[in-house]
Amino acid sequence: MKSKIIEIDKNFLPVDEKVSMDIIFDYFSDQEIEIEETNAHYRLRITRSDFLYCENMENSLKGLGINKKKVKDFRIVEQNSIFCLLESWIPYGWSKFIAENSKLTDNLTIIHLDDHADLMSPRISVNNGKWKDMLTGDEVSFSEPESIKKAIQSGAITIGSMMTPLIHYIKNVNLFHFKQNVDSISRYIEKTTELDSLFCLGKKRLAVKLVTRPKNLRERNNTYLRTSRLSELIENIKPNTDIFLHIDMDFFNNRFNGSTDWRIFAAKNNLNMDKQKEIMDDLCRQIFEAGLGSRIKHVSIGISPSFYPCEYWKEGVSYLLCRLHSVGVKVGELMKKLKLNTDS
């Protein structure tokens, strides 16, 4: 989508210009921003970021057959899966699957392998149960894939907020967040709204809160478990629920964490390829032993440029898909489309 012009009244921001700039850039952290100043406003030209700024990715893009100019919108969508560079596209794959599968129940288990929770608030306002893209004014519905596609292209749904719309749409969600090097925590999911703080002051945005005590039965039926122990995760999966398996490749290595200052901060998760493969093997072994393969109805995989190092893209994705396929997870079509070497 082309860049969009947004005006922000200076009266809504602190007098200190540096503080104001920090607020603006934090609010639009996933956008490329150009700012012009008038007496009364900051005029912003915002464009979705392609996240290609932490390293030279030319060869790795070529290795996957991806045109650099098409990075923002690159995705491969199959009946039961989606593969993309930018994780903001994951909800589009979910939306298409849901629209085409009316038998999907109100109870969903999400296995979320990711170095981030991705539970931020999207730029989607809520009024009387209706969703609206705050950047375009278009209506948004999770059961209408084209509306989700437009919300991604506008920047309303971002890499950091991509989980939130699905959680609001499904009645009962058990979200299992598999993250390395963390203590286990268990929470309830409160599906709520929050007031916008800058662009559309006073409008309510979709939001998710993790709480220790549920207010009602609805919250009791929506749970979040974060753990570094895959066995703990699998033990807590309820029987007979459909499963969405989501894998952000930065789970295996998050060297850059989306920051050009990555050299200053020691990466907490910077595993070599051999160690990544060990984790992939263990993941797939436990999926097989628990008999989860047939229950996984949808698989979503995102590379996350400027998070997951490009030196691992082709080998990591190839090995992961091959191992998932070997335990009965439906990724065969992705393997064909990506034309990867899966003899691993």
Model-wide pTM > 0.75? yes
| pLDDT given for residue 162 in this prediction | 98
Residue 341 has pLDDT above 60, yes or no: no
183: exposed, middle or buried (C-beta count within 10 Å: 0-12, 13-18, 19+)?
exposed
Residue 344 has pLDDT above 80, yes or no: no
| pLDDT given for residue 216 in this prediction | 86
Residue 270 has pLDDT above 80, yes or no: yes
Residue 104 has pLDDT above 90, yes or no: no
Residue 177 has pLDDT above 60, yes or no: yes
Using one digit for the tens of pLDDT, what is the confidence trace for 190-204? 999 999 989 888 899
Q: Across all residues in the chain, what is the average pLDDT?
A: 93
Q: Where are the alpha helices (DSSP H) in the chain?
A: 17-27, 58-63, 90-100, 145-154, 164-169, 217-220, 230-235, 273-289, 313-326, 332-338
Using one digit for the tens of pLDDT, what is the confidence trace for 295-314? 999 999 999 999 999 999 99
Residues 243, 237 contacting (CB under 8 angstroms):
yes
| pLDDT given for residue 91 in this prediction | 98
**Cα gap 343→193, rounded to integer Å:** 47
| pLDDT given for residue 343 in this prediction | 53
Residues 304, 87 contacting (CB under 8 angstroms):
yes
Q: Read off the pLDDT band of 102 (50, 70, 90).
A: confident
| pLDDT given for residue 20 in this prediction | 94
**Cα gap 70→256, rounded to integer Å:** 22
Strands 223-227 and 185-195 turn out to be: antiparallel
**Cα gap 288→244, rounded to integer Å:** 15
Residue 2 has pLDDT above 90, yes or no: no
The pair of three-digit structure tokens given for residue 59, joined into one six-digit string: 């060869």
| Residues ≥6 apart with Cβ < 8 Å to 132 | 124, 125, 126, 138, 139, 140
| pLDDT given for residue 262 in this prediction | 83
The mean pLDDT value for 101-121 works out to 92
First-residue to last-residue Cα distance in the chain: 38
